[in-house]
Amino acid sequence: MAAVSDWTADGLAWSDRSDAKEKAPATAVTTKRILLAAIKLADRQGLEALSMRKLGTTLKVEAMSLYNHVANKDELLDGMVDQIIGEITLPERGGDWRSAMRTRAVSALAVMTAHPWAPILVVSRINVGPNMLRYIEATLGTLREAGLSWEETDRAWNTMDNHIYGFTLQQQNFPVNPDDYASAAASYLPMLSADRYPYMHEMTARVADGSHDGTLDFGFGLEVILDGLERLRKRR
């Protein structure tokens, strides 16, 4: 009987069901091994390099045999996303909500940075994998138990995730390397008339002379969001 890809009963990871799974060798191809291999391949070469043929070569099996575990590439991508979402530290309910949400955000940023292909998949696909559901449930529970209404909880969750994924995408695609900010600013400064663009001119000058580093600051935006949510809580 061919193995069938499915979720485990506890909803924590993918697994294979087959009549002989208990006796499968350690090197047997499983859904989890496929997902981990796909993640490593995407980390090294990007999603555009991901194919069943390359996965088969990596795992030393025929590409067609992978379809016993994942139905198609969409299912593969969803499984990859759910696997890496499982790497994010979940907010702990019942304690300091602000600390819990900060830990969640910083952890999510680290995971998205480690897997640069992931943010665009997270924001562009509907994923109902078990790790994603646990992630969302813990987030909603933390915000609700902090005293926010359902509407505020929904908007707070989305605002924080907009910051996480938006920051990651901007950081990954920014056209200037942070080490080159000062020299880039110096080259643009002559184009910015101090009379016509006084604020742009002064900001660029500060980056050029090193008095301001000009780098993107995830923590600044995160604390602004958390401050706003705290004020909202106190008003309630």
- Which amino acid makes up residue 135? Y
What angle is formed at CA 81 by the lines to CA 85 and CA 28, rounded to 5 degrees? 100
- Share the mean pLDDT of the chain: 89
Which CATH number do you get for residue 9? 1.10.10.60
Residue 24 is assigned to a structural domain of this protein: yes
CA dist., res. 63 & res. 183, Å (int): 49
| Number of independent structural domains in the chain | 1
Residue 59 lies in domain: 4-71
Dihedral sign for Cα 206, 210, 214, 219, please: negative
Range with lowest mean pLDDT among 19-33, 151-165, 177-191, 218-232:
19-33
Report yes or no on 231 lying in a domain: no
Percent of all residues in the chain with a pLDDT value above 70, rounded to a whole number = 89
User: By three-state DSSP, how is residue 8 classified?
Assistant: coil
Predicted confidence at residue 46, as pLDDT, reads 95
Q: Give the residues across from 16 on adjacent strands.
A: 5
pLDDT at residue 187 is higher than 60: yes
Helices 97-114 and 130-145: angle between axes, nearest 10 degrees: 150
Residue 216, in any domain of the structure: no
- How many alpha carbons lie under 13 Å from residue 227 in its C-beta half-sphere? 6
Asked if the structure places residue 25 within a domain, the reply is: yes
Tokens of 192: 């910015």
Whether 206 is covered by a domain: the verdict is no
Q: What number is the average pLDDT over the span 111-137?
A: 96
- Strand 14-17 vs strand 4-7: parallel, antiparallel, or unpaired? antiparallel
For residue 216 the two structure tokens come to: 């993107």
| 41 found inside a domain | yes
pLDDT of res. 13? 43
Q: Looking at the predicted structure, is the pLDDT value of residue 11 above 80?
A: no
- Whether residue 74 is predicted with pLDDT greater than 70 in this model: the reply is yes
| Residue 26 counted as domain residue | yes
pLDDT score, position 28: 84
Give the type of residue at 161: D
pTM of structure: 0.84
Give the integer Cα–Cα distance in Å for 112 and 135.
14
Task: Please indicate, yes or no, if residue 102 is contained in any of the structural domains.
Answer: no
| Averaged pLDDT for residues 161-170 | 96
